[in-house]
Structure 1
Amino acid sequence: MTRALRRSPAALMGLFLITSLCLYAAVGPYVSAWSPTDVDYAALSAPPDPSHWFGTNRIGQDVFAQTARGLQKSLLIGLFVALAGTAFAALAGTCAGYFGGWTDRALTFLVDVFLVVPGFLVLVVVAPALRPAGWVAYAGALAALGWMLTARAVRAMALSLRERPYVTAARHMGVRPLVIVRRHILPHMTSFLIAHATVSTAGAVVSEAGLSYAGFGVQPPDVSLGTLIADSTEAALTYPWMFFFPTGMLLCFVLAVNLVGDALRLALDPSAARAGVPA
């Protein structure tokens, strides 16, 4: 898989963009002379200049520092949601596929229930109750509503793996089920789960930005890419730097993750590459 990524120019470009954005999010607020909360009353809605590299917003806050802080929070939420959702999907899907019986029926029923529940409406309803708990509770709600389809895929893989000769042999030798799952089932899903978590990060960042844009996500005084885009939408034509910098960061991150995700898909499914599926 690593070799396939190194051979793909698109994947290398995506990795470079992801690394650059993560570096900007991590150190951006510290290399700027302005913090995300500082206000320069002498530069209201000022365009980019040596003092404010990305300009300022309508109340004089530095757009460079604000965008770095917003990207930091969006990436943090996206990574948390992707990892938590993937872990829960791996747990539920593996248990359903390997143990079968009532465990499979119960977990499959739970997945079906979650699939018919409109996630956006649920988040809109529960968002006010989650505000006092901060972004962790909000990210947990996003993760709880985004694991079902992955769990179905993991369940199908577990159903196939449980019939492999080495798994059957381990079962007849009296190896405990949890040990079999840990040693013989989950390791064969690692590549799929890594690829899924990578792509899911971009989807989680977009979901966070959309909900924050609608006012149901990250709440002031904290910022994310969604809140920055929402606050600057009306100024997109008159003061474009306020809108296009956070929007550009969001688009670059999603594009970069998709480039890496396509390369991972081809690395994990060589038949797609032989069939001529574009990367």
Structure 2
Amino acid sequence: MTASRTEDSAGAARPRQDAAPPAASPSHHLAGPDTVRGERKWRLYLRRFLRNRMAVAGLVIFALITLLGLLGPSLAPFGYDEVDFLAISDAPGGDHWLGTTGAGNDLFAQLTHGIQRSLVIGLVVSLATTAVSGFVGALAAYVGGWVERVILETIHFLLVVPSFLILALVSNDVGGDWRMLIVVLVAFGWMYYARVVWTLALSVREREFVTAARYMGLGPWTVVRRHILPNIGSMLTIHFTLGVVTTIQAETALSFLGFGVKKPDVSLGALIGEGSSLVYSAPWMFWFPALTLTVLTVSMAFIADGLRDALDPTSQAGGHA
């Protein structure tokens, strides 16, 4: 019978170790503790958001309106710029599901195109203003000194400038081009939130991990991008959501007054402005765009409220962890 023990160089008997050590679980190599912690955090945020019924309803309504804006133009029997001379200010029914405008355009086609145009303007402007205000405010708080003073003085000066008047004049000069309208709205829409970000970033820059990053020789842009902005990311997320609402409202006000999007292009504000003078003789031209705008902005407000409750650890509205 073969011995189950071997002898070492000193002659002492020791057990033979035939079994190999257990292999490490591949999950330890695929995801580190930081990744797992981040995944759990986002699951908690999602669970708290889904507990808010109004926020979920707002998300569903916003998704449906977005799908209407994306798919509506292909479903409409007429193009948004196509004129039906045999149907001038016709009531809803027949070939024109929501009626026609005073120029003979199909209102359903114009409404879906207006949703698409207003959403593009709102999302792009809100994203750009959030990015600009976040970086400018955080950089001013982190660098300090004369850079901070120059940035704050610039912000305070721009805040007292009559921005709506400048927006109206500039947008009117460019002939209602929605691309230039985006540029103008971004140029005059980042100052207030940059001031708010600066206030929040002042407390973040005093934390130990920011001090350690500074002593390690990381540049200001790297510290702002990696350490300061992620710690105020919840506020920036809420600002982005609410910024979509305020941008759409600003574009609606400009278009209503004739300074925003102009024909042959169309937006929700332009449709409301056109239908306001015919609210009694052709009420469908005003009420369909007005109701769409109201539902859109209210749904975004519900989403922002749900995000605030989900991302705020002190809020009890989203339930306990």
Task: Normalising by structure 1, report the TM-score.
Answer: 0.93
Counterpart Cα distance in 2 of 1:28 and 1:55 = 15
Aligned counterparts of 2:178 and 2:316: Cα–Cα separation in 1? 40
Q: Which has the higher contact order (CA 8 A, sep 6+)?
A: 1
Q: Give 1:129 deviation, angstroms.
A: 3.0
Cα RMSD after superposing both structures: 1.6
Deviations, residues 75-133 of structure 1 (Å, cap 9, x unaligned): 1111111111111101110111100001110010011011101111111222233338x
Q: Secondary structure at the match of 2:316?
A: helix
Aligned to 1:111: 155
What's the offset of the Cα at 1:178?
2.3
Match of 1:236 in 2: 279
Q: Equivalent of 1:60, from 69, 86, 104?
A: 104
The alignment of Structure 1 onto Structure 2 pairs a total of residues equal to 274
User: Deviation string for 1:134-179 (max 9, x for gaps)?
Assistant: 2111111111111112111111222111111111112122233322
1:67-78 matches, within 5 Å, as 67-78=111-122
1:241 is displaced (CA, Å) by 1.1
Match among 234, 239, 247 for residue 204 of structure 1:
247
Unpaired runs of 5+ in structure 2?
1-44
**2:241 and 2:300 in contact (8 A); partners too:** yes
What does residue range 85-104 of structure 1 map to in structure 2 within 5 Å?
85-104=129-148
The equivalent residue for 2:168 is 124
Letter in 1 for 2:138: T
Question: Of the candidates 184, 189, 192, which is equivalent to residue 232 of structure 2?
Answer: 189
Aligned to 1:6: 50
Letter in 2 for 1:30: S
* Separation of aligned partners in 1, 2:159 and 2:246: 17
Q: What is residue 270 of structure 2 aligned with on the other side?
A: 227
Which residue number corresponds to residue 198 of structure 2? 155
**Structure with the bigger percentage of helix:** 1
Distance, in Å, in 2 between the alignment partners of 1:42 and 1:127 is 34
2:67 corresponds, among 16, 23, 26, to 23
Tell me, in whole angstroms, the C-alpha distance in 1 between the residues paired with 2:116 and 2:73. 10
Contact map agreement 2:49 2:309 (CA 8 A) in 1: no
1:250 to 280, 293, 307: 293
Amino acid across the alignment from 1:143: V
Task: Report the AA paired with residue 270 of structure 2.
Answer: T
Cα distance 1:109–1:165, how it changes in 2: closer, same or farther (>3 A)? Answer: same
Which residue of structure 1 lines up, in the alignment, with residue 4 of structure 2?
Answer: none
C-alpha distance in structure 1 between counterparts of 2:95 and 2:247, whole Å: 34
Which ranges of structure 1 fall in alignment gaps of 5 or more residues? none
1:6-29: CA deviations, max 9, x gaps?
111100110011101111111111
- Taking the aligned partners of 1:35 and 1:19, their CA distance within structure 2 comes to 23
Q: Which protein is bigger by CA-based radius of gyration?
A: 2
Relative distance call for 1:93 and 1:8 in structure 2 (3 A) is: same
Q: 2-side partners of 1:62 and 1:82: how far apart?
A: 30
Amino acid at match of 1:216: F
